[in-house]
């Protein structure tokens, strides 16, 4: 591992912060990420405005004391723009409301590499392009900030028009709270962020959902109760505790928290799923991300009205496991 890629604090903080001193930052979108990052920057003394259409998010931003504008007006009134609206709507919004309103020497900041990597957004030549991509859900960003803690983030310069893109990048990373104790910024690229983000979603994150369902089917066929299965798999919260142990102790080192029977079972049986066939499938998915195959498929899916997407959801929500989960969660008071 190259530790030169890792940044845990700014040794010359003033030098970096001078690049954003006196600047107005427009956060486009006051949703999960937008709200947390905007609040953190404001608490750090940054002048933040919000760009958001009239909706509940706009009302929330106004109630929380922000000046809120239509998106195009927010861009006109700022020198740095955080793109924190969903990936799928960014190209149209950027084209119609942002591109022509960016000032020369301003900066556009993406939280995802997707649209810039796949050339779905063309940024004017006179603008710095930055990537500040937290590896943390929105409310976690705010919660950690309030506790005085940082969080992981991937960062990159996509284009340095002003010659100050690096300074802006690190100042903004610090401004959102990533470099508080426990946080780390990893030098990355738009390509790497896109690959890792999508590959996570296409492999283990999606596979675990279907693996749980297969487990449910086999266990019920063998006479186990739906309630016991769901609690065993994820309903008890044990899975979240194991994930926390992985974060704190390491992927395999956390096994020491389990019984010897559990350790042996996981090590000897789990490896049966990690074979060459699965590795090649993961590689195929990675290559389809890098060559744009998946991006083209997803773009066509959106243009078709999300027919396949909706059918996949419908198919999974109609599975018997979903009905049993709902009954259990109602009994436990998790849903009404």
Binding positions for Mg(2+) are 197, 201
The whole-chain average pLDDT of the chain stands at 96
Supply the pLDDT for residue 1: 41
> Residue 20 CB: number of other CB atoms within 10 A?
23
SS3 159: strand
User: What is the pLDDT, as a whole number, of residue 4?
Assistant: 76
Burial class (CB within 10 angstroms; exposed 0-12, middle 13-18, buried 19+) of 80: buried
Those residues whose C-beta lies under 8 Å from the C-beta of residue 224, and which sit 6 or more positions away, are none
Q: Count H helices and E strands in the chain, helices first.
A: 17, 9
Task: Convert the pLDDT of each residue in 146-197 to its tens digit.
Answer: 999 999 999 999 999 999 999 999 999 999 999 999 999 999 999 999 999 9
pTM: 0.94
* Residue with tokens 């976690």, as numbered in its chain: 140
Domain boundaries, the chain: 3-188, 197-331
Question: Alpha-carbon distance 258 to 157, whole Å?
Answer: 43
How many angstroms separate the CA atoms of 270 and 307, rounded? 35
**Tens digit of each residue's pLDDT, the chain (336 residues):** 445 789 998 988 889 999 999 999 999 999 999 999 999 999 999 999 999 999 999 999 999 999 999 999 999 999 999 999 999 999 999 999 999 999 999 999 999 999 999 999 999 999 999 999 999 999 999 999 999 999 999 999 999 999 999 999 999 999 999 999 999 999 999 999 999 999 999 999 999 999 999 999 999 999 999 999 999 999 999 999 999 999 999 999 999 999 999 999 999 999 999 999 999 999 999 999 999 999 999 999 999 999 999 999 999 999 999 999 999 999 999 998
Instruction: For domain 3-188, give its CATH number from 1.10.10.10, 3.90.1200.10, 3.40.50.720, 3.40.50.20.
Output: 3.40.50.720
Place of tokens 């845990």: 8
Binding residues: 197, 201
């Amino acid at each position: 591992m190259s530790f030169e890629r890792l940044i845990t604090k700014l040794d010359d903080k003033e030098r970096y912060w001078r690049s954003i001193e006196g600047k107005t930052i427009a956060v486009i979108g006051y949703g999960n990420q937008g709200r947390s990052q905007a609040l953190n920057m404001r608490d750090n003394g940054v002048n933040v405005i919000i760009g958001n259409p009239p909706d509940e998010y706009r009302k929330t931003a106004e109630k929380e004391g922000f000046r809120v504008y239509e998106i195009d007006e927010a861009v006109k009134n700022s020198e740095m723009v955080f793109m924190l609206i969903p990936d799928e709507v960014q190209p149209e919004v950027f084209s119609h409301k942002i591109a022509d309103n960016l000032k020369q020497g301003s900066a556009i900041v993406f939280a995802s590499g997707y649209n810039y990597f796949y050339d779905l957004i063309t940024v004017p030549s006179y603008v710095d392009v930055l990537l500040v991509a937290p590896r943390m859900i929105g409310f976690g960003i705010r919660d950690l900030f309030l506790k005085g803690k940082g969080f992981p983030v991937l960062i990159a310069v996509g284009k340095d028009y002003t010659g100050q893109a690096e300074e802006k990048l690190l100042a903004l990373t610090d401004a959102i709270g990533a470099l508080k104790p426990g946080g780390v910024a990893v030098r990355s690229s738009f390509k790497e962020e896109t690959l890792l983000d999508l590959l996570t979603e296409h492999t283990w994150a999606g596979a675990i959902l279907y693996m749980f369902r297969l487990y449910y089917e086999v266990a019920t066929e063998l006479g186990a109760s739906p309630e016991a299965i769901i609690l065993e798999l994820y309903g008890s919260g044990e899975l979240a505790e194991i994930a926390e142990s992985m974060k704190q102790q390491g992927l395999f080192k956390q096994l020491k928290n389990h019984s010897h029977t559990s350790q042996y079972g996981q090590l000897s049986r789990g490896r049966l799923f990690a074979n060459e066939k699965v590795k090649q499938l993961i590689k195929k998915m990675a290559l389809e991300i890098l060559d744009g195959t998946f991006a083209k498929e997803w773009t066509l899916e959106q243009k078709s009205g999300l027919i396949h997407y909706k059918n996949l959801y419908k198919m999974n929500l109609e599975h018997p496991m979903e009905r049993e989960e709902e009954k259990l969660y109602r009994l436990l008071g998790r849903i009404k």
